[in-house]
């Protein structure tokens, strides 16, 4: 690895997630709100993506990749080209003055792209998703990777023949999201909030994770598992609903959260605005129903980095850590090097990802870096323990090390 840890984060970085991720060598700050993912950070990102991918595939989702460069025409049809309507566009021009937008979302793009595929009711449903870099000219970018001007989103779109079909799929998507947040380790602290009512046929839900540096606020009833976005708390529909559930507003706890995902039911709006129809069983032309489902992949990574970090650094779960084992050799005796090499190869062979810190550095420096990087299991090969055929083992979340045989170590890691 070319990586190096830093004692201090750049002075202009105020967000804890980015401070830690920069110090530990996971990301590089190019400018405010713009971060590169270094090999360690990319590994975490790819693991988060893989969990999401598995759940999207289980829903029948098909993965594709759309384009960052967007033509103006498709977005004009829905009024969303207008900077008054969407205030975060980055726009540019071709040499011949043709205007282009840099994609901040892909609803219009997917409807445009699927137009030739949506002819008959037999062509539906369609469920597609992608992992894409979105570009948004955000006014403020002080939350590290939790609010980037360039960030990775998973966005899924589903097209259906009827409201009934969309509603059923929408509910499945909500359940899939809950499984994703569970697998990422933030399920217990993530709440679904009813986000916007509007017309009865259109609505959306947000997934909000408790996080002190989040930019949102929700009202929460943990016992009844009810959460309301603070923006919605005075909405008459919400007031009636709380009344029906016999919950007083005063019983709700106000907590700071980060929006880690959301799901939108667009009804037939987009199809009507963009004039895309299919023929139903009787040959009649009809607009399709559209759902849109987003997860802020890089934001989730930032939330996890912040939530689980302790005073010594990052703390990753086995599911998304860049490697499961941080292997340290103490000294460079032939015997130590030989045994560490052997263990390293055995771990790799067993499919256990391992980082071997073979630098010629003080043990204290290696220990500190293992902790800063947040690798879940630390294994030390030292001359003293080798003499007794033992290794030192310590999980990142415990303060106590124990001495184990290689066999017991493998049992534990399995």
Q: What span, in angstroms and rounded, lies between the C-alpha atoms of 356 and 363?
A: 13
Count of Cβ atoms closer than 10 Å to residue 327 Cβ = 23
By the rule CB under 6 A, 138 interacts with ligand ATP? yes
By the rule CB under 6 A, 265 interacts with ligand ATP? no
> Across the strands, what pairs with 28?
36
Shortest reach from residue 303's CB to ligand ATP, in Å: 9
Per-residue binder mask for ligand ATP (CB under 6 A), 78-107, x = binder: ---------------------------x--
Query: Binding residues for ligand ATP, how many (CB under 6 A)?
Result: 15
By the rule CB under 6 A, 218 interacts with ligand ATP? no
By the rule CB under 6 A, 144 interacts with ligand ATP? no
Torsions phi, psi for 275 (to 5 deg): 60, 55
Closest CA to 32 of 49, 50, 10: 10
Q: Which is nearer to ligand ATP, 141 or 325 (CB)?
A: 141
Q: Which is nearer to ligand ATP, 125 or 296 (CB)?
A: 296
Question: Judged by CB under 6 A, which of 161, 260, 271, 315 binds ligand ATP?
Answer: 260
Closest CA to 413 of 377, 371, 374: 377
By the rule CB under 6 A, 190 interacts with ligand ATP? no
Q: Which is nearer to ligand ATP, 151 or 169 (CB)?
A: 151
Question: Judged by CB under 6 A, which of 25, 125, 267, 296 binds ligand ATP?
Answer: 296
Q: Which two structure tokens, joined as six digits, stand for 322?
A: 């860049």
Footprint (CB under 6 A) of ligand ATP, residues 147-176: 147-148, 151, 153
- CB under 8 A, 24+ apart: contacts of 358-363: 358/329, 360/332, 363/328, 363/330
State the DSSP code for 252. Answer: P
By the rule CB under 6 A, 305 interacts with ligand ATP? no
Question: Judged by CB under 6 A, which of 13, 55, 108, 259 binds ligand ATP?
Answer: 259
Q: Which is nearer to ligand ATP, 77 or 142 (CB)?
A: 142
User: What DSSP element (H or E) covers 168?
Assistant: helix 163-183
Shortest reach from residue 260's CB to ligand ATP, in Å: 5
Question: Judged by CB under 6 A, which of 78, 208, 213, 262 binds ligand ATP?
Answer: 262
Per-residue binder mask for ligand ATP (CB under 6 A), 59-78, x = binder: --------------------
User: What DSSP element (H or E) covers 349?
Assistant: helix 334-349
Could you tell me the strand order of the sheet in which 69-71 lies?
69-71, 99-102, 90-93
By the rule CB under 6 A, 184 interacts with ligand ATP? no
DSSP E strand stretches across 222-351: 226-229, 253-267, 277-279, 285-287, 289-296, 325-329
Position closest to ligand ATP via CB: 296
Residues 6+ apart with CB under 8 A from 268: 201, 287, 288, 289, 290
Q: In terms of DSSP H, where are the helices of 27-106?
A: 39-58, 72-76
Longest dimension (CA), the chain: 82
- Among the listed ranges 78-86, 235-243, 292-300, 387-395, the one in contact with ligand ATP (CB under 6 A) is 292-300
- Among the listed ranges 3-11, 260-268, 346-354, 402-410, the one in contact with ligand ATP (CB under 6 A) is 260-268
Residues 290-306 as b or e (16 or more Cβ within 10 Å = b): bbbbbbbbbbbbbbbbb
By the rule CB under 6 A, 307 interacts with ligand ATP? no
Q: Which is nearer to ligand ATP, 29 or 299 (CB)?
A: 299
Q: What span, in angstroms and rounded, lies between the C-alpha atoms of 327 and 329?
A: 7
Shortest reach from residue 100's CB to ligand ATP, in Å: 20
By the rule CB under 6 A, 299 interacts with ligand ATP? yes
Q: Which is nearer to ligand ATP, 148 or 376 (CB)?
A: 148
Q: Whose structure tokens read 């970018």?
A: 141
Q: Which residues here bind ligand ATP, judged by CB under 6 A?
A: 105, 136, 138, 147-148, 151, 153, 259-262, 294, 296, 298-299
């Amino acid at each position: 690895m070319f990586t190096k840890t830093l004692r201090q984060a750049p002075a202009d970085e105020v967000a804890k997630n980015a401070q830690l991720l920069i110090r530990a060598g996971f990301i590089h700050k190019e400018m405010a709100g713009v971060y590169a993912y270094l090999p360690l950070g990319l590994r975490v990102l790819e693991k988060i993506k893989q969990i999401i991918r598995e759940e999207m595939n289980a829903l029948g989702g098909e993965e594709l990749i759309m384009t960052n460069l967007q033509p103006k025409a498709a977005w004009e049809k829905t009024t969303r080209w207008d900077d008054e309507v969407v205030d975060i566009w980055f726009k540019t021009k071709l040499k011949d003055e043709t205007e282009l937008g840099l994609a901040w979302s892909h609803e219009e793009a997917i409807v445009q792209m699927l137009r030739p595929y949506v002819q008959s009711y037999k062509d539906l449903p369609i469920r597609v998703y992608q992992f894409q870099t979105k570009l948004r000219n955000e006014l403020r970018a002080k939350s590290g990777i939790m609010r980037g001007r360039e960030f990775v989103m998973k966005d899924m779109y589903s097209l259906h023949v009827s409201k009934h079909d969309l509603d059923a799929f929408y509910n499945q998507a909500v359940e899939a999201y809950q499984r994703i947040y569970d697998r990422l380790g933030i399920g217990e602290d993530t709440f679904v909030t009813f986000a916007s009512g509007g017309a009865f046929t259109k609505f959306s839900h947000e997934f909000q994770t408790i996080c002190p540096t989040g930019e949102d606020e929700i009202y929460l009833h943990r016992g009844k598992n009810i959460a309301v976005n603070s923006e919605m708390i005075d909405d008459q529909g919400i007031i009636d609903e709380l009344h029906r559930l016999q919950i007083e507003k005063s019983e709700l706890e106000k907590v700071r959260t980060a929006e880690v995902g959301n799901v939108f039911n667009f009804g037939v709006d987009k199809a009507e605005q963009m004039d895309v129809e299919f023929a139903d069983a009787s040959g009649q032309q009809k607009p399709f129903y559209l759902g849109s489902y987003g997860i802020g992949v890089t934001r989730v990574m930032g939330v996890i980095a912040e939530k689980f970090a302790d005073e010594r650094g990052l703390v990753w779960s086995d599911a998304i850590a860049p490697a499961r084992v941080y292997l340290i050799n103490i000294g460079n005796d032939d015997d130590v090097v030989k045994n560490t090499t052997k263990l390293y190869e055995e771990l790799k062979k067993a499919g256990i990802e391992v980082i071997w810190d073979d630098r010629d550095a003080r043990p204290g420096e290696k220990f500190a870096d293992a902790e800063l990087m947040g690798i879940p299991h630390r294994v030390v090969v030292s001359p003293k323990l080798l003499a007794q055929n033992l290794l030192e083992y310590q999980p990142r979340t415990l303060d106590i090390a124990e001495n184990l045989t290689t066999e017991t170590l493998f049992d534990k890691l399995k």
